[in-house]
A and B are shown apart, each in its own frame.
Chain A
Amino acid sequence: DAGVIQSPRHEVTEMGQEVTLRCKPISGHDYLFWYRQTMMRGLELLIYFNNNVPIDDSGMPEDRFSAKMPNASFSTLKIQPSEPRDSAVYFCASSPYGTGGTEAFFGQGTRLTVV
């Protein structure tokens, strides 16, 4: 398996534009997680899915952020409209049984810059 695949690797956009980040989890993994990493706040969980269903979105910063998982092999994180403070590295991770004691496999991340 190629691991968790994220696209794009880098994204530069202007404030106010819509941004869509994409993730393909490892096949057979029932859990998918979206994280955001910044120098100030470290790695923060935004939302996670179990069997394509959003379970906990309490980490989503505001209504400008939305995430979907239409099927077991694809998820998106959308920011609309984007703001400079959204600049961060966004990671997608998947796990076979969840992270309560088992490993989360992370993608390479998408480095987002909003100017």
Chain B
Amino acid sequence: QKEVEQDPGPLSVPEGAIVSLNCTYSNSAFQYFMWYRQYSRKGPELLMYTYSSGNKEDGRFTAQVDKSSKYISLFIRDSQPSDSATYLCAMTPYGNNRLAFGKGNQVVVIP
């Protein structure tokens, strides 16, 4: 079983819709959870990170972590065409530099 599972299937939504992305993981030592956004032919850039369980909100973006279920989510409200990108989840134990990435979800927001 891969450490981090993320369904890579493309997701197309109309502008203004809520986008829901998620990852599951198997390593209970993971404590830092991150979402990276990657535009086409660019490097990933950090979008949000959370430590341990709970929710974190930043503008239109909300990240949720449920450590008991080993499940993390990213929600994008009022999606915009500029949100069209691949979203990768990443996680690591505290103080560990080996980030484990999901394969990424390609999101297309249709105007």
Q: Does A99 contact B (CB under 8 A)?
A: yes
10 tightest A-B contacts by CB? A106-B43, A42-B103, A43-B101, A103-B46, A100-B95, A98-B97, A101-B32, A100-B96, A99-B99, A99-B97
Q: Does A56 contact B (CB under 8 A)?
A: yes
Not counting A100-B97, A106-B45, a sample of 16 additional A-B residue pairs whose C-beta atoms are within 8 angstroms of each other reads A33-B97, A42-B88, A42-B102, A42-B103, A42-B104, A43-B88, A43-B101, A91-B43, A99-B92, A100-B32, A100-B92, A100-B93, A103-B46, A105-B45, A108-B42, A109-B43
Interface on chain B toward A: helix, strand, loop, or mixed SS? Answer: loop
Looking at the complex, which one of B43, B49, B51, B93 makes contact with A103 (CB distance below 8 Å)? B49
Chain B residue at minimal CB-CB distance from A101: B32
B42 cross-chain contacts in A, Cβ below 8 A: 108-109
- Beta-carbon contact of B97 and A56 below 8 Å: yes
Task: List A residues at the B interface (Cβ < 8 Å).
Answer: 4, 31, 33, 41-45, 48, 50, 55-56, 59, 91, 93, 98-101, 103-109, 111
A49 CB, min distance to chain B CBs, angstroms: 10
Task: List B residues at the A interface (Cβ < 8 Å).
Answer: 32, 41-46, 49, 51, 88, 92-99, 101-104
- Beta-carbon contact of A45 and B43 below 8 Å: no
Looking at the complex, which one of B41, B44, B93, B98 makes contact with A45 (CB distance below 8 Å)? B98
Interface on chain A toward B: helix, strand, loop, or mixed SS? Answer: strand
- Beta-carbon contact of A4 and B104 below 8 Å: no
B85 CB, min distance to chain A CBs, angstroms: 13
- Beta-carbon contact of B45 and A48 below 8 Å: no
